[in-house]
Amino acid sequence: EIVLTQSPATLSLSPGDVATLSCRASQSVGSYLAWYQQKPGQAPRLLIYDASNRASGIPARFSGSGSGTDFTLTISSLEPEDFAVYYCQQRSNWLFTFGPGTKVDIK
Amino acid sequence: QVQLQESGPGLVKPSQTLSLTCTVSGGSILSGGYYWSWIRQHPGKGLEWIGYFYYGENTYYNPSLKSRLTTSVDTSKNQFSLKLSSVTAADTALYYCARGPWMSRGVILTWGQGTLVTVSS
């Protein structure tokens, strides 16, 4: 099983700040990494797939980068609606796994 | 636009079998091109893949749950189901059904709203 770790666990920022979230895989996942956003009481929402491709309808302030074992999700200027939990997820092999999440909260 | 809706008992006793159904509307399980999945989220915790299938092909189960899992599809009702046997408190979670493109399996585009299952006597 490929284990994903995310850092930091919590990120306290203000609207307008840049958010940089990290995800590290226990072995290479190539570019098969996605990022999801989850708000309280809601199902996760796909933001980025295959490391750097924005999903349909996702604002340009969300961007993803990385390959192999190290990946980054960047939110260029936080909007009030961006405060949420973010999960990375790999699909490199048939057993898909998620990271533990990074909570972005208001400072 | 496809929608998914989970249903099933919200409370299950320890050692019994948890049974959930996902009803698909706005699209057919038979139509192809998509895989269908179960994912769960323990209270206040992260996400765990339970299993997924592409209709007519193999079903893939999380090895940690495989011995207790049974899944099925009812195409006449456009539903797929999950049964998890011998449940314990550790199976208390929010259970989601989901759909994604088979050619990018692992990517999830559509989620149900989730149904909370509590295992307790």
pLDDT at B57: 86
In this complex, is the C-beta atom of B60 within 8 Å of any C-beta atom belonging to chain A? yes
CA distances (Å), origin B47, targets A99, B69, B76, B107: 8, 18, 30, 14
Q: With a cut of 70, list the residues of chain B below it in pLDDT.
A: none
Q: Which of B46, B106, B113 sits opposite A87 (nearest CB)?
A: B46
3-state secondary structure (DSSP) of residue B89? helix
The pLDDT averaged over each successive group of 10 residues in chain A (107 residues) is 96 97 97 97 96 97 98 97 97 92 95
Q: Which of B49, B96, B112 sits opposite A96 (nearest CB)?
A: B49
Residue of A nearest to B110 (CA): A45
CB under 8 Å to B37, separation ≥6 — which residues? B49, B50, B51, B52, B53, B97, B98, B99, B100, B108
pLDDT at B44: 85
* Locus of tokens 């307008």: A16
* Locus of tokens 């999700």: A73
Contact: A101, B46; criterion CB under 8 Å? yes
pLDDT at B58: 85
